[in-house]
Chain A
Amino acid sequence: MELGPIFRAMLKAKAGYILIALQIAVTMTIMVNAIAIMQEKNDAIARESGMDEANTFAFSSTSFEPDADMRSLVEEDLDTIRNLPGVRSAVASNSYPLRQGGWSEGLQLEPDANSSDSIGSAIYFVDEHGVDSFGATIIDGQNFTPNQVSFKDPESNTWPAYGIVTEALAKELFPEEQTSVVGKTIYLGDNDPINIVAVIDRLQAPWQSWTGVERSMLIPQRRLGTYQTYIVRTEPGYRDELMPQVEELLANSNKGRIIRSMTTMDHVRMRAYLDESAMVTMLTFIVTLLVIITGLGIVGLASFNVSRRTRQIGIRRALGANKFAIMRYFMVENFIVSSVGIATGGILAVLLNILMVNAFGLQPLSWYVIPIAMLVLWLVGQIAVAGPARRASNITPAIATRSG
C-alpha cells in the first residue's frame, strides 16, 4: 500500500482534509448521541403496561346532577357492560396504565415509620373483576372475593385491609424474601394495615416516566365520586364494535352524566409515548439528513480533488498506474480522512454524551453504538468517494502529453 506518499501528499493540502475530517467527527458525535437518545426512548416505548392492550378500551363517566346515586349507577353500568356479548370483563376504577394521572400512596413495612422510608406505589381501586380487566395474571395467592370489596366517598381515608401487589412492588418491599409474600402485612400512609392477598405479574402505574412505574397495588374498594373511569376488556376482535355500543347504551341509560374519553388502550399508548416516538422520528430524520449531507460533502470534495488532479492522474497513468490503482488512491485517501474524523468523533461523542447525561439525566451510551457508527461512517465515506474515484480512474493517460 502507498499509505506514506498519500498521507504526505494530503499534508501538503491539509486544510481541506482537516475540514472533512472535522465534519465526519461532528457527524459522528451527533449520530452517536442521537442513537443513544433513540435507544433510551425506544426502550421506554417497548415496556409493556401489563394490560391486554389490543383488546381493551377505557372511558370515563361524569355525573353532573347533584345527589346522583353513584353506587347503583356504577353497579348498573357494570352489569350492562358485563352482559354484552364479546365483553370478557369490566371494572370501574380511578385510572389505568399510561394515563398520566392517578393516585399514589407511600407504603411501609412498619406503622408510623419515618415517611422517607416509604415506597411509593400507584393505587387502583377495583372490585374482584379488576385483575382480569387489567389483563394481569395472579402468580401467587388468591383474587379478591366479592365481600372484600367496600364502598366509600371519594375523599375517604378508610382503607380496606386487603391488597394485591405487582411482583415489582413485592420485590421492592421485601427484597430479601425468598418465599411467598402473600399473607404479609404492609402499611399504607402512617397506619392503615394492608394484608397482601395476591401477587400479580405486572401492571404499570399511570405515569410511564416515573422511575417506580412498575409499582402498583390493587385495592378492593369503590370510590363513589361523580367521576368514574371504566376499563373494558373484550374477547379478541370485539373491541371496535363494542366501543360505540357501550357509549350509546350508557349515554342513554342516564341523562344526568356524560360519557367521555372513549379510547382504546392502543391509542392511550400512542398518546403516552407521543413525545418519545416524535423524538425518535425527529432524530432519525436528523441523522439521515446529516449522513446524506456528509456523504454529499465527501462526493463534492472528492469530485473537486479529482478535477484538480486530472493532470496528475494522467501522469500517474502514464507512469504505469492501472485504473484500480487510481481508484485505490482515492479510496485510501478517504479512508485516512474518515479514520481521523471517526477517531476524533468517537472522543467528541463520548464527551457530549457525558454532558448530556449530566444535563438531561440521559442513560449513558452503550459501548457498541460507537463501533456501529464508525462502521456506518466508514462505509458512507467509501460509497461517497467511489463515484468520483471511478471517474478519476477513467481519466486518459494522454492528458500527460496534451495540455502542456
Chain B
Amino acid sequence: MFRYYLRLGLLSIRANPALSALMVAAIAIGIGACMTIVNVRHVMSDNPIEHKNDVLYHVQVDNWSPDEPYEEPDLPPEQLSYLDAKALYDAKRAFRQVVSFKSDRVVQPAGEDARPFQETVRATTADFFAMFDVPFAFGSGWDEAADQSEERVVVLASGLNEELFGGKNSVGELLRMNDETYRIVGVLAPWTPVPKFYDVNNNPFEEPERLFLPFSLAISGEFGSNGNTSCWKTVGDGGYEAFLASECIWMQMWVELEDATQRQEYEQFLNAYVSEQKLLGRFPREMNNRLSTPAEWLQNRDVVDDHVSMLLSLAVLFLVVCLLNTIGLLLAKVMRRTNDTSLRRALGANKSALFSQYIIEAGLIGMAGGLLGIGLTWLGLQGIENLYAEYEFIKNLVRMDWSMIFLAVALAIASALGAALYPTWRACSISPATTLRIQ
C-alpha cells in the first residue's frame, strides 16, 4: 500500500508541477534561511573544550573600584591584574593553573631578504598545553623549570611552522624575534578552537595566536598587552614596573580542579587570598569571586552577538511564513480535490488510508525541500563568508557539520509534515456524500 500511496503522491506532484515546485521552494528557502543562521549560531555557541567542562574553571576576583561595579549587575572584572595573576599562580593551589595574556612580537626570519613581520603571541605558563589538550605535531611545551628560569623557548602553531620552515620538524631550530633569539621546543598540530574559549575578551572568533612563550619571560622582557586593558585607578609614573603594580586588568587565569572537594578547597583559598589582600588595603568591593566552567564562561560572556540573535528570530519567522505558505497551498490542493477525495471515500477508502495518502505526499515535498534547503544553507554560508571576506576569522564560522545537515533534513520533513497535518485532517473529514450533493 505504501508504494501505491507513493505513486499517488508522485502523480499528484507531477500533475501540479508549478505548485509543487512552489511548495518545495518555499520549504527550501525557509529551511535555508533558518539553517544558515542556526549554523552560524551553532558554531558560535560551541564549546570546544566540552570534554573537560567539569574540571576547568575560569578564575575571577573583584579588585574593581569602590564606586561602581565593573559591569552591572555587580559582576567582577573578566580579567585579572598582574598582581593577582602572579600571586594566585605562585600559590599553586590547583591541580593545574594557567595565567596568560596576548601580546605581539616582530618575527625576523633567517635569510637576507626575508622581511620581518609582526605576530600576536600568547605569553603563558607551562600548563597551558596539557590543560587545554593542545595537540602537538613535534616536540612539546616547556616545563615549569623553563618557566622559572625564563628560558628563551617558543612553541609554534602549525601554520607559522609551515610558513617559516615549510612544515618540517623545526624543534631545536632558532627563531629571532625583536632582536632576541628563541629556541623552538614544540610545533602544534592544526588547532583552531572556535570560539577561542581561553580568551574571549578580545575577538572570540579569531584564530589562536601562532606563537606561545613563557609568561615569566614576557614579564621580564616588558611585553605589553595586545588585548583589552582596563583600569579604574590611574597608573603611577614609573613605566612597566608601575603598570605591573597597578590595578589594571589584562590577564586571563584558568585552573584545573579534579573533583568537587578540590573545587571547594580552591574557593576557600580564593576567599582567604582576597581577605588577606583586603587587610593590605586592596579589594575595596565586597568579596565576589567566581569560578566558571568553560560552558558557563562562554554563556556569561555572551559570545553570540546580538546581530545573530536578531537574524535568527527573523529567520524563524521567515520559516513560519514559508510554512503558512505551504499549508495554504496544500489546503487549496485538498479543497480542489474534494470530488476526487469524496469519490475515493465512496469507493471504500477509509480515513486512515486517505491520511496516509496525503501525509506521504507532503513527506515527499518536505524531503525535497530539505535536500534543496541544505544546498541553500551552503549557499547562504558562502554568501555570509563573502560579505565578511574582509575578516579571516569568519571562515571559522561558516562550517557545516553532519549534525547541521541532519537537523536541516529533519526540520524540513517535520515542517512539511506539520504543514500537512491540517490540510490532511480537512481531507479526511470530507464526507463521501459531498459529490452527490453539489455538482
Query: Chain A residues in contact with chain B, CB under 8 A?
Result: 13, 15-16, 19-20, 22-23, 26-27, 29-30, 33-34, 37, 62, 64-66, 114-116, 153, 155-158, 189-190, 258, 260, 270-271, 274-275, 277-279, 281-283, 285-286, 289-290, 293-294, 296-297, 300-301, 303-305, 307-308, 352, 356, 359-362, 404
Q: Does B435 contact A (CB under 8 A)?
A: no
Please measure, in the bound complex, the distance between the C-alpha atom of A361 and the C-alpha atom of B310, giving whole angstroms.
11
Q: Does B391 touch A at the CB level, under 8 Å?
A: yes
Q: Give the residue of B108, B315, B332 whose beta carbon is less than 8 angstroms from that of A301.
A: B332
* Cβ–Cβ contact B309 & A294, under 8 A: no
- Can you offer 27 A-B residue contacts whose CB atoms are under 8 A? A15-B422, A19-B327, A23-B324, A23-B328, A30-B318, A33-B314, A34-B314, A64-B178, A64-B179, A66-B178, A155-B238, A157-B235, A157-B236, A158-B237, A189-B234, A258-B106, A258-B115, A274-B388, A282-B384, A283-B314, A296-B26, A297-B22, A297-B328, A301-B328, A304-B19, A307-B336, A356-B313
CA distance A23 to B30 in the complex (A): 13
What's the least CB distance linking B227 to chain A, in Å? 10
Choose one: A258, A275, A294; the contact of B307 (CB below 8 Å): A275
**Interchain CA distance A114-B65 in the complex, whole Å:** 12
> Residues of A contacting B65 with CB < 8 Å?
115
Q: Select the stretch in B191-199, B239-247, B355-363, B397-405 that faces chain A.
A: B239-247
Are the C-beta atoms of A404 and B332 separated by less than 8 Å?
no
Residue B29, interface by CB 8 Å: yes
The CA-CA distance from A187 to B330 in the complex, in Å, is: 71
Asked if B321 is at the interface (CB within 8 A of a chain A CB), the reply is yes
* Cβ-closest chain A residue relative to B33: A286
The answer to whether B328 touches A20, judged by C-beta atoms less than 8 angstroms apart, is yes
Structural contact, B26 and A297, CB atoms closer than 8 A: yes
Residue ID in chain B nearest A303 by CB atoms: B19
Q: Which of B231-278 contact A (CB under 8 A)?
A: 232, 234-240, 242-243
> How far apart are A253's CB and chain B's nearest CB, in angstroms?
15
Q: Which of B99-128 contact A (CB under 8 A)?
A: 105-106, 108, 115-118
Which 9 residue pairs are nearest across A and B when measured between Cβ atoms? A64-B106, A304-B332, A19-B328, A297-B325, A278-B387, A23-B324, A64-B178, A360-B306, A26-B321
Tell me whether B333 is interfacial, beta carbon within 8 Å.
yes
In the complex formed, the residue of A with least CB distance to B180 is A66
B322 interface neighbour in A283, A293, A362, Cβ under 8 Å: A293
Q: Which residues of B in the span 337-361 have a Cβ within 8 Å of any Cβ on A?
A: none
Shortest distance from the beta carbon of B228 to any chain A beta carbon, whole Å: 9
- Given the known interface contacts A66-B179, A282-B387, A304-B336, the answer about A116 and B318 at a Cβ–Cβ threshold of 8 Å is no
Determine the main DSSP class of A at the interface with B.
helix
Query: Does chain A have a CB within 8 A of B311?
Result: yes
Residues of B close to A27: CB separation below 8 A = 321
Whether A16 touches B335, Cβ cut-off 8 Å, given contacts A33-B314, A279-B307, is yes
Q: Which residue of B is nearest A297, CB measured?
A: B325
CA distance A285 to B236 in the complex (A): 53
Q: In the docked arrangement, what's the CA distance between A352 and B324, Å?
A: 19
B220 interface contact, C-beta 8 A? no
Determine the chain A residues whose CB is within 8 A of the CB of B177 once the complex forms.
64
Determine the main DSSP class of B at the interface with A: helix
Q: Given A23-B324, A34-B314, A404-B439 in contact, is the A64-B422 Cβ separation under 8 Å?
A: no
**Contact: A16 with B118, CB < 8 Å?**
no
Q: B387 to chain A: which residues have CB within 8 Å?
A: 274, 277-278, 281-282
Hey, which bits of chain B sit against chain A, CB under 8 A? 18-19, 22, 25-26, 29, 33, 65, 67-68, 105-106, 108, 115-118, 177-179, 232, 234-240, 242-243, 306-307, 309-311, 313-315, 317-318, 320-322, 324-325, 327-329, 331-333, 335-336, 383-384, 387-388, 390-391, 422, 426, 439
Residues in B with CB closer than 8 Å to A158 are 237
Q: Kindly report which residue of chain B lies nearest to residue A105, judged by CB atoms.
A: B234
Contact A23 B388 (CB under 8 A): no
- Could you say which residues of chain B place their CB within 8 Å of the CB of A360? 306, 309-310
* Bound: A289/B32 CA distance, A: 12
Are A270's CB and B390's CB within 8 A?
Answer: yes
In angstroms, how far is the closest chain B Cβ from the Cβ of A59?
13
Q: How far is the CB of A286 from chain B (nearest CB, A)?
A: 6
Given contacts A297-B22, A301-B332, A305-B332, contact A62 B179 (CB under 8 A): no
* C-alpha gap A305/B333 in the complex (Å): 10
**Pick the contact of A304 from B314, B317, B325, B329 — CB < 8 Å?**
B329
Across the interface, which residues of A come within 8 angstroms of B336, CB to CB?
304, 307-308
Knowing that A23-B324, A301-B332 touch, tell me 5 more A-B residue pairs with CB under 8 angstroms: A26-B317, A115-B67, A270-B390, A275-B307, A293-B322
> Which listed residue (A114, A293, A352) contacts B321, Cβ 8 A?
A293
Residues of A within 8 A of B388 (CB): 274, 278
Known: A279-B307, A297-B26. A29 touches B317 (CB 8 A): yes
Interface pair B307/A23, CB less than 8 Å apart: no
Task: Determine how close the nearest CB of chain B comes to the CB of A248; give it in whole angstroms.
Answer: 13
Q: Which residues of A contact B105 (CB under 8 A)?
A: 64
Q: Tell me the nearest residue of chain A to B68, going by C-beta.
A: A116
Q: How far is the CB of A28 from chain B (nearest CB, A)?
A: 10
In the bound complex, residues from chain A placing their C-beta under 8 Å from that of B235 are: 155, 157
- Could you tell me if B321 and A290 are in contact, using CB atoms closer than 8 angstroms? yes
